[in-house]
Amino acid sequence: MLSSLRKMFAAPRPAAYHRRWPRILMSEPARVTERNAQSQAALLEQICAGGARVKLSKRLAPGTTIGIAFKTSAGERTYDLHAIVVHANKEERGFSWRCGVCFVDTDPTETQRLSAFVDAERTRRQHGVAMSRV
């Protein structure tokens, strides 16, 4: 009886982390290209091995296939991946759109490389080690 009262009045448990891949926040330039369209500048705001969140000046419709090119850090090779837009939300203030994208047809090596970068960057941020910017 006591346990049922506790369940009734206790604060709910926090939800378990529901993402497949851990994400990190970023602020890196990127290029987004729609099929049969010119590329446009974007800002990579979040990244994980399975997708990203990009900030653009133009709305991309959910379901649109895009190409996205970016670097995760100075001196590293440029990623050039294909993705599908999952959602697009307009900023409350300003003229930008934030789009969540899911990487598709990604080589397993690229997925592992992104995952290793995210893990290393999370560790670096937890321990406060400066990242070299050359």
Share of the chain above pLDDT 90, in %: 46
Could you tell me the fold of the domain covering 20-126? Thrombin, subunit H (2.40.10)
The secondary structure of residue 134, as a DSSP letter, is -
C-alpha to C-alpha distance for 24 and 73, rounded to whole angstroms:
13
Query: What is the residue type of 32?
Result: V
Tell me the pLDDT tens digit for each residue of 52-106. Answer: 999 999 989 999 999 999 988 766 778 899 999 999 999 888 889 999 999 999 9
Residues in CB range of 1: below 8 A, 6 or more apart: none
* pLDDT surpasses 80 at 39: yes
Q: Where do the structural domains in the chain lie, given as residue ranges? A: 20-126
Nearest C-alpha neighbor of 27 from the set 40, 45, 42: 45
pLDDT at 82: 95
Higher model confidence: residue 89 or residue 36? 89
pLDDT digit string, tens, across residues 40-54: 999 999 999 999 999
d(Cα 56, Cα 54) in Å, to the nearest integer?
Answer: 6
What is the distance between the alpha carbons of residues 91 and 28, in angstroms, rounded to a whole number? Answer: 18
- Tell me the per-residue pLDDT of 3-13, one tens digit each, with 9 for 90 and over: 776 666 766 66
